[in-house]
Structure 1
Amino acid sequence: MNAGINPYSTRGLSASSEARQIMADWLRLTRVAKPEPDARMTMLLQRYPHGLFSEAELQELLAIFKD
């Protein structure tokens, strides 16, 4: 019936340079920025040994510092 037609062949899909530029601009604008690490959290982690405070205790300490 469909002899000679390969359904798995790749098609020549090509985007124009304008379309690629629009996509690149959109990706640049909508990219999620990595959050900046909290300097106070970094200081606490460097000053006190690992395991001394739990994550919840660190969050409470930061809340106290913020007030």
Structure 2
Amino acid sequence: MNAASESALCPSAVNHQSLKVLAQWLKHHGSKQVRTTDPRRLLAGRYPQGLISEAEMQALMAVWH
């Protein structure tokens, strides 16, 4: 690796204030988003309409839960 990429991996190269801002954002938004995600909506948005049948969607939902 070169010196530039090595410094990017070094934790001391990260701005402390930036880490605090990121931590606050994750505290307020990160975990809440994971908990409230609708799996059916997530799958429907990820795959083209008609690719997954209703029966397949039901099976995926059963596995999800």
TM-score (normalised: structure 1): 0.41
Greater radius of gyration (CA): 1
- Which of the two has greater helix per residue? 2
